[in-house]
Amino acid sequence: MTTTFPKDFLWGAATSAYQIEGGHLADGKGPSIWDAFCQVPGKILNGDTGNDACDHYHKMEEDVLMMKALNIEAYRFSISWSRLMPNGTTSLINEAGIDYYNRLIDTLIKHGITPWVTLYHWDLPLAIQLEYDGWLSDESIRLFTDYADLCYSRFGDRVKNWITINEAWVIAILGHGQGVFAPGRTSNVEPYQVGHNLILAHAHAVKCYRDKYQSEQKGQIGITNNCDWREPATDSDLDKEAAQRALEFFLGWFADPIYLGQYPQAMRERLGDRLPTFTDEQRALVLGSSDFFGLNHYTTMYAAHDAGDDSAGDVYGNGGLSEDQDVKLSVDPQWEKTSMNWAVVPWGCGKLLHWIANRYDNPEIYITENGCSYNDTVENGIIADTKRIDFFEGYLGECNKAINNGVKLKGYFIWSLMDNFEWASGYSKRFGIHYVDFHTLKRTPKESAKWFAKYIVNNK
């Protein structure tokens, strides 16, 4: 397939701190909820932890050179809150942690790579969880804003692209609904309380940036939400409504308040007093609090109306607490699957981009994650991950078509720069375009990395 992207289209790769950094207690860093969660027997496959991960903390310069060889223009990474603030508050600032991220930012810029910084990618300082009950507490909003303020003041002279929170849905549903991610809680009430606080924390952090820094530093700030496409299982009105409802419970939950000023109608109707409400002041704060639409997208599922309560499905695939939605999810058995058992459905990406454009008045979109996991093997020093190349060609082809049809897609970040710690799956899943030997930590470009480097050049 021949594609030609706009000349100003941004090409990047993405990672997150806990998944690659290691150095979990190095140079004054405090523990995070993921450091603690990994110590709970049975929570992480094979008892793996992120204590060492890819040791990016010590291999940063080598990894930036690896990025340079990719021809990427931007690198999206997250900052470890507890590396900067070991107890999560301004009472203790770890200058060694600030120095580390200053070196990373400076090294990226030296090699012509633009830093895109995510403030929060799930690794809450453990002290905040223990002392304040984490994201369940209103105090988390103030603490996150203080942390964001520190980052803007220390890094904002060079960082011009900020993402407040990565995938609030995961924090709420997998962390507080289904309990499979840190902090490992199960509830049908907590996810909506946590989601509410995350939206307000995002909005307050954005207000801080806009009030104190944006005009001088001339940057942009937004939030990244994740969503899979939901295709109606049949042409029936019930299934069409179910697919729409599933998207509202997944993406609309966090995007509607920012772009439309309130939670989706489906959620308000079905959740009752389990769904918090915004005051008029909060609604005004949240509305318009994103300069761009950050999207992480991986897969597609069919959605059908289901009046029963047996539609929980795979925890990664389900767009929320199933009993609240009356949606049954399924996949076509003919669809190619990744090693995460996620279906490869490029056209779902195109449909989701158009859904976002139609619902939210065609905002500027950045795909901040898109990728796939396969069981890669090294043969004679070569990792021939042809299925991953096929995946990227298919999804980028749909991105290109969406742009040509008027969607304001401005950039694309591949997930991930390298194999890493895949949360509850430990080191068993490989999303990287660079192979990491987790015994030696040697990085090796997969064939997909070589392909991506050429693809970028051919589309500039």
Active-site residues, by number, are 167, 369
Phi, psi (deg, nearest 5) at residue 340: -85, 0
Alpha carbons 268 and 323: distance in angstroms, whole number: 15
Q: How many Å separate Cα 415 from the centre of its chain?
A: 10
Nearest 5°: the CA angle 102, 106, 109 is 145
The SS3 assignment for 45 reads helix
Contact call for residues 431 and 418 (beta carbons, < 8 A): no
In which residue are the tokens 């994103």 written? 290
Phi, psi (deg, nearest 5) at residue 411: -170, 165
Cβ atoms < 10 Å from Cβ of 186: 11
Return the amino acid letter for 460. K
Count of residues making up the chain: 460
**Strands of 229-232's sheet, edge to edge?**
229-232, 300-305, 327-330
Residue 416: asked if its preceding bond is cis (omega within 30°), the reply is yes
Contact call for residues 420 and 49 (beta carbons, < 8 A): no
Alpha carbons 335 and 387: distance in angstroms, whole number: 13
Nearest 5°: the CA angle 99, 102, 103 is 90
How many C-alpha atoms does 447 have within 13 Å on its Cβ side? 16
CA-nearest of 298, 302, 189, 194 to 242 is: 302
Return the amino acid letter for 110. K
Alpha carbons 409 and 406: distance in angstroms, whole number: 9
Return the amino acid letter for 418. M
In which residue are the tokens 């830093």 written? 115
Contact call for residues 147 and 190 (beta carbons, < 8 A): no
CA-nearest of 92, 108, 76 to 29 is: 92
Tokens of 219: 């940057």
Phi, psi (deg, nearest 5) at residue 223: -130, 150
Specify the DSSP class assigned to residue 30.
Answer: P
